[in-house]
Every structure is written in structure tokens, then in C-alpha cells.
Amino acid sequence: MTAPMLNSLLLASTDVERLRTWYVDVLGGEPDPDGFLHFGPVAVLITPRDDVSSSSAEPGRVILNYTVTDIAATARVLDSDGVTWVSPVEYRDEGGAWFGTVQDPDGNYVQLIQLTPQYWAQRRVRHAGSPLGRATLRDASIGVRLPAQDLARARAFYADRLGLEPSEEREGGLRYQCAGDSFVVFSSTGRASGLHTQMGFYVPDIEAAVAELRDRGLAFDPVELPGARSRDAIVDIPGNYPSTGAVGERAVWFHDSEGNLLGLGQLVMPGTPDADRF
């Protein structure tokens, strides 16, 4: 059996608006139209329930851990909002990290963690002799970089055609955030080959996504793969990685303004209307 993937947490509350506002204003959660607050790859959904009290009876039973890059700066923001500290910010030698815990308005514990080089050194010692002891890149995050010979032109393309605005920018670079992942478009004198997929977006409804992007003026590339059926530029690709549980994938491709080849994909799961096509 493939282990399931944790992608969201549910916080029950008798005062949903108050609690959601706190997570947005204090922790910077980004709400989507369904009400999920996105904090990296794991989202938090705050929902009303009639089987909970107004405050958490056992706040230590489930603790929400948030990794931060500067715990002192985060603590100052929390202090300005008048939060209640359960454990003040402190460095713990046994963990090689900084920790601090506050309460949200319902009394749930929210723990902040800032990892240090000592944490990773201790971790290597703990994993000595195991395959993880010599697998440094397993702990690395992945950074997607797309070259742009004209960064202003690329920015306009991603805004007008894809509906994406950079979440951050720096000299020569634009960073885009999509759910829990990000990618960067950077100024480069190099030219993208455009001959292979450089990055893909997974969407829940590829036909709806294609229709929306076409309405924005995006042109999709006609692609023919041996043995694969296609319809309206969307290609049916049989099979997928076992961990996904999918029987196939529907995909479509396009080039951005700088010649980078990008794709949209939708996993097709067993028992869904499209599954009999694979």
C-alpha cells in the first residue's frame, strides 16, 4: 500500500471568523475560494462544528508546527498582535533549533521552529550508518528556474496569459507561488531550447484550465505521442507513478514568451469518468 499524502489539517471552531482572521492576519495564511489557508504544502481549513467547545480542552494533543527563517522577527510580529506565549522563544541544544509556542484564539498550540546548522549536524549523526546518512539532497528543496531574455516581457506573459503575479521579486528575478510550490523566472542571456517540458502545473480539471487560458489568449501546442490519443490538444498518457494511484494523465503543452516549454496535467484516478479511456 502506498502511504497517503497529508495535504490539509482541519481546525474545528465555534467562532470560525475570529480564528480564520487570526491565522490570516497574524501568520499570513493565504485563503483560497474554498476557505483553505495555505502554509506551504499543508493547508489549514477552519470549519464550524457543534461537537467542540469554545476553547481547546487538550491543546497539547495536536500542535501545529510552522518552520520559519527568522524566529525573532516572527516573534516581534506576534507580540505586536498581543499573542499569549505558552513557551517563549528559546534555543534547545538537544534539537539544534529555536522553538517558541503561542496560543491561537481557540487555545490551540502553534509552535514556531527555526532550524540551524547544528540541527542538520545532529541529524547526520543520528543517521550515521543508514542510507539517509549519505543522502544530503533528500533534505533539499527543489528550485525550478526558467530563463527569460526579456524579463518584462515574461512578466507580462505570465500575468496576461496565465493570470500569475510574482509573490516576490529581486533584481533580475521573479518568484511565483502556486499553492505550496514556487518557481522563478530569471533574466538570462541563454535561450530556452523549448524541446522538452521544463515545468508542469497539475490542475484538478484540465478542460476548465485549458478553456480559461485560451480565453486569456494562450495558444496550446499540438502534440502527438506514439500510441497516445489526443482531443482538442489534450493528450491521454496511460499509466503513472505507483504513488499517485492514477491510471493515467491528461496533458497539454504551451510555450511561454521566452520559449520555455510548459505543461498542464491532470491525474486520472480509477473510477472517474475518464478512467475508461486508459
Mean of pLDDT over the chain: 89
- Output the pLDDT for position 1: 46
Q: What is the pLDDT, as a whole number, of residue 139? A: 67
R_g (Cα) of the chain, nearest Å: 22
Looking at residue 136, what is its pLDDT? 63
Question: Out of 3.10.180.10, 2.60.40.10, 1.10.3720.10, 3.40.50.1820, which CATH number does the structure's domain 8-138 have?
Answer: 3.10.180.10
Q: Percentage of the chain surpassing pLDDT 70?
A: 95
CA angle (12 as vertex; 103, 69 as ends), nearest 5:
45
Count CA atoms closer than 13 A to 248's CA, side-chain side: 17
N residues, the chain: 278
Please measure the distance between the N-terminal and C-terminal CA atoms of the chain and give it in whole angstroms.
22
Average pLDDT over residues 217-241: 87
CB 90 within 8 A of CB 7: no
- pLDDT above 80 (res 25): yes
Q: What is the pLDDT of residue 181?
A: 81
Query: Would you state the pLDDT for residue 4?
Result: 72
Q: For 88-130, what is each residue's pLDDT tens digit?
A: 999 998 889 999 999 999 999 999 999 998 888 888 788 777 7
Q: Give the residue-averaged pLDDT of 223-238.
A: 85
d(CA 250, CA 269): 11
pTM for this entry: 0.68
Rounded Cα–Cα distance for residues 136 and 219 (Å): 41
pLDDT digits (tens, 9 = 90+) for 159-169: 999 999 999 99
- Region 6-25: mean pLDDT is 91
Q: Specify the pLDDT at position 2.
A: 57
Give span(s): CATH 3.10.180.10, the chain: 8-138, 144-277
Query: In this predicted model, what pLDDT tens digit does every residue of 35-69 receive, in sequence order?
Result: 899 887 788 999 999 899 999 999 999 999 999 88
Residue 232 pLDDT exceeds 70: yes
Residue 190's pLDDT is what? 85
Q: How far apart are CA 36 and CA 32, in angstroms?
A: 6
**What backbone phi and psi angles, to 5 degrees, belong to 199?**
-160, 150
Domain 144-277, second-level architecture = Roll (3.10)
Q: What is the mean pLDDT of residues 15-42?
A: 88
